[in-house]
A and B are shown apart, each in its own frame.
Chain A
Amino acid sequence: MIHTTKELELIANEIRQDIIKMLVEAGSGHSAGPLDMADVFTAMFFEVLRYKPKEPDWPERDRFVLSNGHINPVLYATMAHAGYFPTSELKTLRKFGTRLQGHPERTRLPGLETTSGPLGSGISQAAGMALGFKMDALVQQRVWCFTSDGEHQEGNTWEAIMFAGKNRLNNLTVVVDRNNIQIDGLTEDIMPLEPFAMKYQAFNWHVIEIDGHNFEEIIAALNQSRAILEKPTCIIAHTIAGKGVDFMEYDYRWHGIPPGLKDIEGDPPKALQAKAALEKLRTLNGKIRSEHE
Chain B
Amino acid sequence: MNSYELNPDLYSTKLEYEPNRKGFGEGLVEAGMNDALVVALCADLTESTQMEPFAKAFPERYIEVGVAEQNLVTLASGLSAVGKKPFVASYASFSPGRNWEQIRTTICLNDRNVVIVGCHSGVSVGPDGATHQMLEDIALMRALPNMVVVVPCDSKEARRATVALAKLNKPAYLRVAREKTAIITTDNSAFKIGKANVFKEGSDITIVACGPLVYEALRAAVDLDRLSISAEIINCHTIKPIDSETILASAAKTKRVITLEEAQVAGGLGGAVAELLSSKLPTHVERLGTQDRFGQSGTITELWKEYELDSTAIVKTAKAMMRGVKK
Contact = CB atoms under 8 A, between A and B. Distances in A.
Interface string B30-52: 00000000010000000000000
Contacts of B70: 120-121, 124, 155-156, 159
Given A156-B102, A160-B74, A163-B75, A135 B81 contact: no
Given A107-B111, A121-B105, A135 B75 contact: no
A278 interface: no
A156 B71 contact: yes
B82 A132 contact: yes
B82 A133 contact: yes
Interface in B39-76: 39, 60-61, 63, 65-66, 68, 70-71, 74-76
Nearest to B101: A118
Interface string B9-45: 0000000000000000000000000000001000000
Contacts of A117: 105
Contact of B81 (A105, A116, A129, A155): A129
Contacts of A126: 78
Q: How large is the interface on B (under 10, 10 to 19, 20 to 34, 35 or more residues)?
A: 20 to 34
Contacts, number: 99
B84 interface: yes
Nearest to A130: B78
Main secondary structure of the interface of B (DSSP, over half): helix
B71 A159 contact: yes
A101 to B, nearest CB: 10
A126 B77 CA distance: 9
A127 B39 contact: no
Given A114-B78, A116-B106, 13 more contacts: A63-B82, A105-B109, A107-B110, A114-B110, A121-B74, A124-B70, A124-B77, A125-B75, A125-B78, A131-B75, A132-B83, A133-B82, A159-B68
Interface of A: 63, 65, 105-107, 113-118, 120-121, 124-133, 135-136, 155-156, 159-160, 162-163
27 contacts: A63-B82, A65-B78, A105-B109, A106-B110, A106-B111, A114-B81, A115-B105, A115-B106, A118-B102, A121-B74, A121-B102, A121-B106, A125-B74, A125-B77, A125-B78, A125-B106, A127-B75, A128-B74, A128-B75, A128-B80, A131-B78, A132-B84, A136-B82, A155-B70, A159-B71, A162-B68, A163-B68
Interface of B: 39, 60-61, 63, 65-66, 68, 70-71, 74-84, 101-102, 105-106, 109-111
